[in-house]
Amino acid sequence: MLQEKLELLLNKYQVTSDAKISADGRSVRIGGEVYPLLSHRFERRFVELRRMLHDGTISGVSAIRCGNVGTSEKSLDELILRELDICRFLSGREIVSIAAFGRDRRAENLIAVLDNDVVCSIEVANTLPSGAQTIDKHEVISARGLVCDRVVDTQIPQNSIYLYADENIAYTDVDFELYGLDADKAASVRAAFALAKDETLRQSALCDMETLRNLLSCATKSAADGRKVTI
């Protein structure tokens, strides 16, 4: 399904590429090289949050709050890496220190400080039952206003359609061209398509992943002894 949708975009926009997206949507092979897909960077909510941080909608950023609770199938490292990168992506800054406290590879809380002193709090866990919808929330607090990807006064995601019938089902369709994919999968295909088009983005993805692996290693080190690690 992901490859089919990627080819739809490649054909429609006449992009010549041998891009093959992995079944899990986490990487794309292009010209024999495998590139990581930081697909959250292509989710519209994060693109919009980032825009509002940089176009003057808010100013004087102080703190970024990230929470992500997934199902037990998700690895904690995957969640940590994603949230660390969301802090980098939204702010356009680098992380200079991390303090992490984790338990049983099921839950971890981190504080990451950016190179402009902004404090990022990250809480992740993989404690939801199988099949549950991921619960995540991202909020940026500034001297002039706040931005958030969740409705005011809520902690959990909303959906665009709720069907109450023989079974209760919720749908969130975010991409007409990629209709049928949920937001995560649509973002993966968009990320793969962007990399297929742009060599610079491909190199950036490699650099970002190297940085993130280093940050993850620092988080692991910090979680082991409960001390702050300076990057």
Residues that bind other proteins (CB under 8 A): 60-63, 65, 67, 69, 99-104, 106-111, 113, 117-119, 121, 123, 125, 127-129, 135, 141-143, 145-146, 152-153, 155-156, 226-228
Which residue, among 114, 25, 206, has the nearest Cα to 6 in the 3D structure?
25
**Residue with Cβ nearer other proteins (21 or 98):** 98
SS (H, E, C) the chain: CHHHHHHHHHHHCCCCCCCEECCCCCEEEECCEEEECCHHHHCHHHHHHHHHHHCCCCEEEEEEEEEEEEECCCCHHHHHHHHHHHHHHHHCCCEEEEEEEEECCCEEEEEEEECCCCEEEEEEEEEECCCCCCEEEEEEEEEECEEECCCCCCCCCCCCEEEECCCEEEECCCCCCCCCCCHHHHHHHHHHHHHHHCHHHHHHHHHHHHHHHHHHHHHHHHHHHCCCEEC
Q: In the complex with other proteins, which residue's Cβ is closer, 55 or 104? A: 104
Least distance to other proteins from the beta carbon of 123, Å? 5
In the complex with other proteins, the residue whose CB is nearer, 4 or 73, is 73
Identity of the residue, 52 or 107, whose beta carbon is nearer to other proteins in the bound complex? 107
Residue (10 or 66) nearer to other proteins, CB: 66
Nearest CB to other proteins, comparing residues 51 and 105: 105
In the structure encoding, which two tokens stand for residue 148, read together? 């958030």
Q: Residue 213's beta-bridge partner residues? A: none
Take residue 202 and report the two structure tokens written for it.
């491909």
Residue 148 beta carbon to other proteins: minimum distance, rounded to whole angstroms: 10
Least distance in angstroms from the C-beta of 217 to other proteins: 18
Q: How far is the CB of 80 from other proteins (least distance, A)?
A: 13
Q: How far is the CB of 222 from other proteins (least distance, A)?
A: 9
Nearer to other proteins, 200 or 230 (CB): 230
Q: What's the closest the beta carbon of residue 86 comes to other proteins, in angstroms?
A: 16
CB of 129 to other proteins, least distance (A): 6
d(CA 175, CA 194): 15
